Amino acid sequence: MIGIIFSALFLGFFTGRFFLAPIAKPLLDTILMTALAVMVFCAGADIGSSRQIVRRFLTVKTLGLSLLVLLATNVGSLGGGLIMGYLMGVPFRDALLVSAGMGWYSLSSVLLSAAVGTETGTLAFLANALRELLTILGIPLLARFCHLPLVVVGGATSMDSTMPILLQCAGRPAAILGFVNGFLLSLEIPLLFAFLLSPTVSAFLNR
């Protein structure tokens, strides 16, 4: 699996570098979104076909596990972002805002570009897009040692772009938990940004 992913990545890089004109980007975006929709559909169909696993995961215990995973994702994302920001000399506020995207680069980059500035928005895009890429490349390697903890790695992407690789490498239980975690994060992240960008909190973070 990891060999296929790396081969596809490098083949795409060289194709884009030497054979594709910039005008082809809109077409690539359309192909990418179509392929993503197909992958997510297939992953959803595979999960839905296993009714026993779905029933087993729709329990109070599993909901508690989902909340625990959600908490771990928040602590890991925000804490890791602040540590990396400190090591790289990024201001505390910017590091916190960038890490609050938790992999949702399309939302965080646009929102922070408008609310804070282009530099912070660009940093949010790069950091969160890189998180998605590293998740796709890293899950096949990490799956040799654990399964369910991998749900935390992808953050918000675990319900869409990284769910197929999670299903393939970590199994249906991890994919189901990843979907739930990604769904909860997609509800939480806009509220988290609204809180962090509120006048009172912004004034506190800018001190």
pTM of the predicted model as reported, rounded to 2 decimal places: 0.75
- Cα(14)–Cα(147) distance, rounded to whole angstroms? 33
pLDDT at 36 over 60: no
Average pLDDT across the chain, whole number: 83
pLDDT at 1 over 60: no
Residue 55 pLDDT:
65
- Over range 98-121, report the average pLDDT: 88
| Domain parsing of the chain, residue ranges | 24-206
Tokens of 2: 């990891």
pLDDT confidence bin for 44, thresholds 50/70/90: low
Q: How far, CA to CA in Å, does 10 sit from each of 7, 14, 15, 111, 160?
A: 5, 6, 8, 31, 23
Place of tokens 């890490």: 99
pLDDT confidence bin for 85, thresholds 50/70/90: very high
- Residue 176, classified by CB atoms within 10 Å of its CB into exposed (0-12), middle (13-18) or buried (19+), is buried
pLDDT confidence bin for 34, thresholds 50/70/90: confident
Cα-to-chain-centroid distance, residue 52 = 28
- Cα(158)–Cα(151) distance, rounded to whole angstroms? 7
Least confident of 4-18, 78-92, 133-147, 150-164: 4-18
Q: Provide the percentage of residues in the chain whose pLDDT is more than 90.
A: 26
